[in-house]
Structure 1
Amino acid sequence: MMVPTDEQRRCIEYTDGPLIIVAGAGTGKTTTLIEKIVHLVNKKCVHPSRILAVTYTVKAAGEMENKLRERLGDKACGVFVDNFHSFCFMVVSEHRATLGLSGEIRIMEDTEKSVFMADVIRALSPPLQVLSTFPRVYDRVGQLCGFIGKAKSYLFGPDELAQRLEETKDRLEKKEYLELAEAIRVFLEYEKRKKPLGLLDFGDLE
């Protein structure tokens, strides 16, 4: 059992609203989170089934479950512990009809995503003009997958990006504007093609 610092103790015992803990790697964030859950269950009488704990990896989620079991015993079974992608996939699966997804859904791994993107690019009519200057299809696919992933990390879809592009076009060089316009066009077609197939990428779950 950890002996919390005064600062960690304040985090553990604080229950008056949302709380953000900003700290570097190895400073005890996960341990503090575990102790906070223990505090909520044992001291505040919060039912374990009302607690969700998410972390970045499957391994970290498993370690958190084990540590909670050590601290809470059988009560730990009620706490829902998962990694972000797995939890978000579960939420998307439950609400797939609302999101316009039909049938079974699955996440594309990076290789499948690249192949799918290459197919999207090849099927475009008219074909790409500015972005076709990349010497290899692989480079084009990599650039566009990166562009779409970054857009999703900022919660931008293709329609929002298109609107932003039009709002800022006067401040962009012509080539930059055309490159972005084509990238957004690919983004739009990529989303349009994968939705009826029930396909997701990891960016959809972040």
Structure 2
Amino acid sequence: MDLDNLLNKNQKEAATYLDSHLRIIAGAGSGKTRVVTYRIAYLIDEIGVDPRKILAITFTNKAANEMKERVSNLLGPHALGSLICTIHSLCVRILRQHINVINYPSNFMIMDEEDQKALIKKIYNNLDIDAKTISIKSMIASISNYKMANVSPERALELAGQFQGEIKKAKVYKEYLDYQENHFMLDFDDLLLKAVYIFENYPDVLEKWQHRFQYIHVDEFQDVGNIEYRLVKLMAKKAITCVVGDPDQTIYSFRVLM
């Protein structure tokens, strides 16, 4: 693999630098994902790293599939074993193996947005709430905000004060959580939250995943929120981590993993 002809000078330097954690900052269209692809290929083909010791996290299935295809085209069967996936897919892998520690079955159900909408419609009917007064879309957003802020239904009701709309939202939130727990259902926020909870409270599980990967890559790092950041930081303690992104596109602060 002739990187001198495949990458420019800066791209090659980023793809082959392995001495410590690396943050690659570059604008749109500058070949950031290309660098990550060749970096993975370089680790496997030139350095001899076991593909199973390499993780690459993306934020869309499309990006993950494109990166997998690129690495496969470069290395063929040698690429098999490296884990290239979305952060939610990674969490599913973690939870399928370890969610039993918090008394959930490994065959838990994953809710997509349509499942959420259907459940909220059902709760609205039970509570006699008109979707014209609180849209289902805004209710989904409120539930996500409650969860990410670690606000319980009881606390949400306290915070609602005398505002009837907020009181209704808190009641829907409680019904939503109760239904999830009774049916062992997790939405996309739960995948992140429960994976982080297990890592932070069950050190033996965390240690297993920290030893699993030698090199971790995070594409589009500017899109990482607080919970994703916590997950990656926990996993990266024993791995060399490469994050790639464009701070001009970020909606969060652009941080370096330490």
Same fold, TM exceeding 0.5?
yes
The answer as to whether partners of 1:54 and 1:82 remain within 8 angstroms in 2 is yes
Provide the residue aligned with 2:132 in structure 1.
136
Structure number with greater Rg is 1
Change (3 A) 1:97 1:51: same
Alignment of 1:1-206 (within 5 A): 3-102=6-105, 104-123=107-126, 136=132, 139-152=134-147, 155-159=148-152, 162=155, 175=163, 179-180=165-166, 182-206=168-192
Provide the residue aligned with 2:209 in structure 1.
none
Change (3 A) 1:93 1:204: same
CA deviation map 1:33-81 (0-9, x unaligned): 1111122223332211111123233333222222112222221012122
The answer as to whether partners of 2:146 and 2:152 remain within 8 angstroms in 1 is no
2:84 is paired with a residue of what secondary structure?
strand
Change (3 A) 1:46 1:160: farther
The answer as to whether partners of 1:144 and 1:183 remain within 8 angstroms in 2 is yes
Q: Which has the higher contact order (CA 8 A, sep 6+)?
A: 2
Q: Distance in 2 between matches of 1:80 and 1:103?
A: 20
The answer as to whether partners of 1:162 and 1:181 remain within 8 angstroms in 2 is no
Q: Distance in 2 between matches of 1:192 and 1:11?
A: 48
Gap runs ≥5 in structure 1: none
Q: Among the aligned pairs, what percent are the same residue?
A: 26
CA deviation map 1:175-204 (0-9, x unaligned): 4xx655653453344223202312122222
Change (3 A) 1:109 1:63: same
1:54 is paired with a residue of what secondary structure?
strand
Task: Name the Cα RMSD after superposition.
Answer: 3.3
Q: Distance in 2 between matches of 1:70 and 1:103?
A: 34
Q: Distance in 1 between matches of 2:179 and 2:105?
A: 13
Gap runs ≥5 in structure 2: 193-258
What's the TM-score once normalised by structure 2's chain length? Answer: 0.59
For these two proteins, the number of residue pairs brought into alignment is: 189
> Once structures 1 and 2 are overlaid, which stretch shifts more, 1-10 or 73-82?
1-10
Change (3 A) 1:135 1:112: closer
Structure 1 or 2: more strand by fraction: 2
1:53 is paired with a residue of what secondary structure?
strand
Q: Distance in 2 between matches of 1:22 and 1:56?
A: 17
Q: Distance in 2 between matches of 1:150 and 1:20?
A: 29
